[in-house]
């Protein structure tokens, strides 16, 4: 990647043949992207970011974009789905004019070793642009590159990220752009982010053509939140139930009583109980407990907080009560879960 000779541009994957074309007048010099794959990276997010570039080249029949998969040492990397992906180079071969995207998965806050953080930091220091895909923002945070920036990462990993980096707050958006910094939550958001790049480079009409080839729809500008609304999640438009659910999500560490939730929603406690039974087939106390347990599970996976600290963060004052409810929901105690994670990392 450090040498942009004709052999690079003649790579067959850069300008593949296709039945449909969209000529581009006055193409710019090939814009290069490097995808740094960290162990257990999310394969879906990586491919969703890569293919819009390939489709853009295919439609234009010109090398508008170039790309390489990178690893720390130039060796293949195993994705979270167990598929090994070969790379073209190690990060030491990264050219200064290459936009570097860090790609990682569920263990994004821990997976990059310190010397790799230094290499990412060095790339940025000497003028290289950086971004994050799925949980790639966690590596950028560890490298000290997110201070004062607007960014995002996958919603599942945001609670653990916030615990690890209390001074940094990700947004709920699918992707974010802050200056040259680009981050996304992974999945289809990676496609949307890359199409937004293409729109800036070659116009909205060309970007829509790329988006159509991705079966992604014509909107190349909207950045909506990653998660569906609570209303969609329970197929309901009951505003009072939604108000209670939002209050539950917003008060995890210091749980509200059912009476306080009722006051918040402007209905009686009995009405809350009846409507939760009708809509969710469970008591509101059980729903609230499961929300807090889900937060605890995320923190167990994403942080080095002790079980005791996680119990408090999830609103459980008694460690034994937390452990009992956790086992009822997930079939193992939080200590067993933490031990299993540790064992898998060793092996």
CATH dotted code for 6-213: 3.40.50.880
Quote the pLDDT of residue 346.
55
CATH dotted code for 230-346: 1.10.10.60
201: pLDDT confidence band, cut at 50, 70 and 90? very high
- Does 312 have pLDDT greater than 80? yes
280 against 182, higher pLDDT: 182
- What the block records as the tokens of 125 is 């220091």
3-state secondary structure of 224: coil
Q: How far apart are CA 136 and CA 257, in angstroms?
A: 37
Terminal Cα-to-Cα distance of the chain (whole angstroms): 33
Q: How far apart are CA 157 and CA 299, in angstroms?
A: 9
Q: How far apart are CA 67 and CA 320, in angstroms?
A: 51
Whole-number percent of the chain with pLDDT over 70: 89
3-state secondary structure of 342: helix
Determine which helix (DSSP H) or strand (DSSP E) holds 330, and give its type and residue range. helix 319-330
Chain region(s) in the chain for CATH 1.10.10.60: 230-346
Residue 34 to residues 57, 186, 189, 254, 262: CA-CA distances in angstroms?
16, 16, 18, 43, 52
- Does 84 have pLDDT greater than 90? yes
Chain region(s) in the chain for CATH 3.40.50.880: 6-213
168: pLDDT confidence band, cut at 50, 70 and 90? very high
Query: Which distant-in-sequence residues (6+ apart) come within 8 Å of 64 by Cβ?
Result: 24, 27, 28, 30, 31, 53, 56, 57, 201, 202
What is the mean predicted confidence (pLDDT) over 298-313? 90
Q: Which residues pair with 186 in a beta bridge?
A: none
Question: Which residue is it, tokens 């263990």?
Answer: 107
Whole-number percent of the chain with pLDDT over 90: 67
- Does 222 have pLDDT greater than 80? no
- Does 1 have pLDDT greater than 50? no
Q: How far apart are CA 117 and CA 139, in angstroms?
A: 7
Query: Which distant-in-sequence residues (6+ apart) come within 8 Å of 84 by Cβ?
Result: 76, 77, 78
């Amino acid at each position: 990647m450090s040498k942009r000779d004709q052999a690079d541009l003649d790579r067959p994957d850069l300008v593949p043949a296709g039945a449909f074309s969209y000529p581009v007048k006055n193409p710019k010099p090939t814009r290069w992207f490097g995808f740094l794959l960290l162990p257990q990276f999310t394969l879906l997010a990586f491919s969703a970011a890569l293919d819009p570039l390939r489709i853009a080249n295919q439609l234009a029949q010109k090398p508008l974009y170039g790309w390489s998969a990178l690893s720390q040492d130039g060796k293949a990397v195993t994705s979270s789905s167990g598929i090994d992906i070969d790379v073209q180079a190690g990060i030491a071969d990264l050219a200064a004019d290459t936009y570097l995207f860090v790609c990682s998965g569920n263990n994004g806050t821990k997976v990059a070793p310190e010397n790799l953080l230094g290499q990412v930091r060095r790339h940025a220091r000497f003028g290289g642009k950086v971004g994050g895909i799925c949980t790639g923002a966690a590596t950028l945070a560890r490298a000290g590159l997110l201070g004062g920036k607007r960014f995002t990462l996958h919603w599942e990993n945001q609670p653990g990220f916030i615990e690890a980096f209390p001074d940094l707050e990700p947004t709920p958006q699918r992707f974010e752009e802050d200056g040259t910094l680009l981050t996304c939550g992974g999945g289809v958001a990676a496609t949307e982010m890359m199409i937004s790049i293409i729109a800036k480079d070659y116009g909205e009409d060309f970007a829509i053509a790329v988006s159509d080839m991705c079966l992604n729809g014509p909107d190349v500008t909207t950045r909506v939140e990653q998660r569906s609304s609570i209303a969609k999640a329970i197929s309901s438009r009951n505003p009072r139930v939604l108000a209670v659910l939002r209050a539950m999500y917003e008060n995890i560490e210091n749980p509200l009583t059912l009476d306080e939730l009722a006051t918040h929603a402007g209905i009686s406690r009995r009405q809350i109980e009846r409507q939760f039974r009708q809509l969710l087939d469970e008591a509101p106390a059980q729903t609230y407990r499961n929300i807090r347990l889900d937060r605890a599970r995320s923190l167990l996976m994403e942080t080095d907080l002790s079980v005791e600290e996680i119990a408090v963060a999830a609103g459980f004052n008694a460690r034994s009560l937390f452990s009992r409810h956790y086992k009822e929901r997930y079939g193992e105690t939080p200590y067993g879960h933490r031990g299993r994670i540790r064992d898998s990392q060793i092996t």
